[in-house]
Amino acid sequence: MSNNQKSLYRTYRPSTFNDVAGHTNVVEILKKQLMENKISHALLFTGQRGTGKTSIARIFAKSVNCENLLDGITCEECNSCINSNSNQSPDITEIDAASNNGVDEIRNIKNNVSTLPILGKYKIYIIDEVHMLTKAAFNALLKTLEEPPVHALFILATTEYSKLPATIISRCQTFNFKKIDKDSLKKRIDFITQKEGYSINEQVLNEIYFLSEGSLRDALNILEQLMLVSEKEITIEALKNIFYIATKEEKIQVIKNVLNGESDEVISYFEKADSQGMDFDVFSLSLIEIIKEIIEFSLTKNGEHLKNISKTEAGLFDGVKIDDLFLLADNLSEAYAKTKGTSINFNYLLINLLKSIGNYKLELKDFTSIKNNVDIIEPVIGSVSESQTIVEPIDQNVINEEPILSEVIEEENPEDIENVEVDQTIVQLEQETIEPEVKLFEKEQTSVFAIDDSFQVPLDSISEEEFETDETTIEETTVEPEFKMTESELIEILTQESVKARSLESYSVSINEIMNVLVAPEKTKRELIEKAINDIFKTDAGYLIDPLSAKEMFPLFNVKVPAVSKNMILIVTNSIGSAKLINSKLTLKVFKEELFKQLGGEYIVYAFDNNKWDDTKKEYMTLKANNSLPTQIVVDTQNYYKKVLDAKLVSSENSKFLNKVADMFDFDINIGD
């Protein structure tokens, strides 16, 4: 390693925009401002730690005063650039708001901001962790931030955007720094590793990315530790010894064990890994990444996009049903989203994998498990070779226990049900003999008459008397089979209807309406409402207990209930189509009455998607920080639904009118969002 005792992230801090890893959109906008000399007087950089906010702030501060700027890139040779690189520029002031958060520090800025810059055209103030400023300091900054002298430039950086007052945000041009993309981070790590005289392979780079969660600073700290225990080559073994991560082979084996239904092996591996301190957040992410590549390869047979596994490794799963892979990915994603950063991530991840095994055991009758050096899953086609051992069919009387339902965490990201792969519809008939329905026009038929694929009766076995009944008096009697439905069938209905509903002109819920519920929430009532909705979709042995109610209320399947207040309920859905579907259904009397019966009272239901929920939470936090939350307004339930219904009727009449106009003038009118 270099003799320089500074940390790697300080040694290799980018000096120009060309050195920046990722953030292409941010860099391009800033360079465009420099080239066209349209520089905003106040910039706000927000995003997670270690993604380059302060580094890019310093590069931009140096760039605005560069004497020989070319295409937005600094020359690195003029006096301004040289002084900036040595942190001695008299025109750049950098303040750490975490330790200088009082009103006095801001007053000093106000007093000095009017003086002219010494070397360049601009006087730049970089305020890092600006959310740490006190309320008085923010108030002191407001006027200066809104109307600074023409030679003054403010760059604010924060990891806590929600803690900033709206008055500050509105005065700045905001840039959102997301986590650094995988390719950019790996390329930068590889470059620094080579500069330090080490070599590193692709597998280690992938694991460093998962460990760092897109933070280049964290990634360089990991790399620095690896260099201390490595000679000239950084290996996966070194990484595993320090951070105890799973090797690629171990991850592939865990996936195969789950798909083969080998619960003993999965439990044994997890218990051992937990005792050695494995980071299960990283493990979950890397498992999902591998499954994603297996799915891609299964669908396309194209190895071009394989980065974590080889074609040979992806080919080991050729016999696996694609639905099983989707289900496994869903269960892993759910475990990661609900437990990230918590102490129960190991337990919940293991439970979700075992839940997956429970589902596969009903489906894996057509698979074999080959025991050589590794277990390979292949479909049973025709005869079975001697090296294969057929998995015994699972007794159909064996019933899986109902999955454990965890408490919904309000901040989690719900599963996207529109992407769920669904099984084909299964209709269970009663076991006793059912007389088939026979109609007169079928008298001459000689083919097999089928109620469905599972029940067939030859027409020849039916007596002649059944066909000699007078047509005017014939009584057609049909014995209806018992109606049953699985969760998968319900999801299929919801998915199809949600897609159709995207084009509906349903009532759109406003942020003000949502805020009206949030300002006076009732926790106990929320829990009761959430339980009442969940109870509609309870299952037993894989089938819905009350399939008729579940089918009627299907738009409410898998929704979140973040808040309830008085007679108002908030419903968050995975997609705008699902939200529109609920709001549209609420204009129907039958749906409303059934819902109110399930909830035990009449409620105003506001349904909206995740994006609107995220926007509302930000608005709520801003208002709360400024003590500006509104007072709740009680809304009458009957009047509310009358208003919604009236709006729907008006919209319908408008649509009819527009269609008539279109017919008259022979052109198309698209009515939608």
Q: What is the CATH number of the domain that holds 537?
A: 3.30.300.180
Residues 57/126, Cβ–Cβ less than 8 Å: yes
The answer on pLDDT for 561 being more than 90 is yes
**Which one of 242, 257, 272 terminates a domain?**
242
The answer on pLDDT for 216 being more than 80 is yes
Q: What is the CATH number of the domain that holds 258?
A: 1.20.272.10
* Confidence at residue 663, expressed as pLDDT on a 0 to 100 scale: 52
* Confidence at residue 150, expressed as pLDDT on a 0 to 100 scale: 87
- 234 lies in the same domain as 209: yes
- Domain count for the chain, please give it: 5
The answer on pLDDT for 137 being more than 60 is yes
Give tens-digit pLDDT for 429-485: 333 334 444 333 333 333 333 333 433 444 444 444 444 444 444 444 444 556 778
Mean pLDDT of the residues in the chain: 75
How are beta strands 375-379 and 367-371 bridged, if at all? Answer: antiparallel
Percentage, residues of the chain above pLDDT 90: 8
Q: What is the mean pLDDT of residues 309-326?
A: 85
Q: Does any domain span residue 17?
A: no
- 267 lies in the same domain as 332: yes
- 437 lies in the same domain as 528: no
Q: Does any domain span residue 46?
A: yes
* Confidence at residue 653, expressed as pLDDT on a 0 to 100 scale: 52
Residue type at position 505: E
The answer on pLDDT for 348 being more than 80 is yes
Compare 123 and 506 and report the one with higher pLDDT: 123
Range of the domain at 327: 244-403
Name residue, tokens 């991840």.
349
Q: Residue 506 — pLDDT band, cuts 50, 70, 90? A: low
* Confidence at residue 641, expressed as pLDDT on a 0 to 100 scale: 83
* Confidence at residue 211, expressed as pLDDT on a 0 to 100 scale: 80
Q: Does any domain span residue 514?
A: yes
- 70 lies in the same domain as 153: yes
Give tens-digit pLDDT for 276-305: 777 788 888 888 988 998 998 888 888 877
E-strand spans in 418-467? 448-452, 455-458
Residues 368/378, Cβ–Cβ less than 8 Å: yes
Q: What is the CATH number of the domain that holds 58?
A: 3.40.50.300
Compare 346 and 331 and report the one with higher pLDDT: 331
- 129 lies in the same domain as 267: no
Q: Does any domain span residue 351?
A: yes
Q: What is the mean pLDDT of residues 52-78?
A: 89
- 492 lies in the same domain as 614: yes
Instruction: For residue 37, count other CB atoms closer than 10 A to its CB.
Output: 9
Q: What is the mean pLDDT of residues 339-355?
A: 81
Tell the burial category of 635 from Cβ atoms under 10 Å away from its Cβ (0-12, 13-18, 19+).
middle
* Confidence at residue 300, expressed as pLDDT on a 0 to 100 scale: 87
Give tens-digit pLDDT for 156-214: 999 888 888 888 888 888 998 888 888 888 899 999 999 888 999 888 888 888 788 78
**Which one of 242, 258, 288 terminates a domain?**
242
Q: What is the mean pLDDT of residues 340-352?
A: 81
The answer on pLDDT for 564 being more than 90 is yes
Q: Residue 660 — pLDDT band, cuts 50, 70, 90? A: low
Residues 534/561, Cβ–Cβ less than 8 Å: no
Q: Does any domain span residue 15?
A: no
- 510 lies in the same domain as 438: no
Angle (CA) 401-403-404 rounded to 5° is: 120
Q: Does any domain span residue 83?
A: yes
Compare 266 and 386 and report the one with higher pLDDT: 266
Q: Residue 556 — pLDDT band, cuts 50, 70, 90? A: very high
Residues 154/94, Cβ–Cβ less than 8 Å: no
Q: Cα–Cα distance between 76 and 86 in angstroms, integer?
A: 11
- 220 lies in the same domain as 267: no
70 by DSSP, 3-state: which?
strand
* Confidence at residue 359, expressed as pLDDT on a 0 to 100 scale: 60
- 290 lies in the same domain as 226: no
Q: Does any domain span residue 389?
A: yes
- 394 lies in the same domain as 315: yes
- 166 lies in the same domain as 194: no
Q: What is the CATH number of the domain that holds 209?
A: 1.10.8.60
Lowest mean pLDDT segment, chosen from 68-72, 423-427, 431-435: 423-427
**Which one of 139, 156, 177 terminates a domain?**
177
Give tens-digit pLDDT for 507-541: 678 888 898 899 888 988 898 999 999 889 888 87
Q: Cα–Cα distance between 49 and 51 in angstroms, integer?
A: 6
Q: Which of 94-108, 419-433, 534-548 is the most confident on average?
A: 534-548
* Confidence at residue 353, expressed as pLDDT on a 0 to 100 scale: 85
Q: Which of 72-76, 441-445, 601-605 is the most confident on average?
A: 601-605
Q: Does any domain span residue 668?
A: no
Structure token pair of residue 329: 């990915």
- 302 lies in the same domain as 436: no
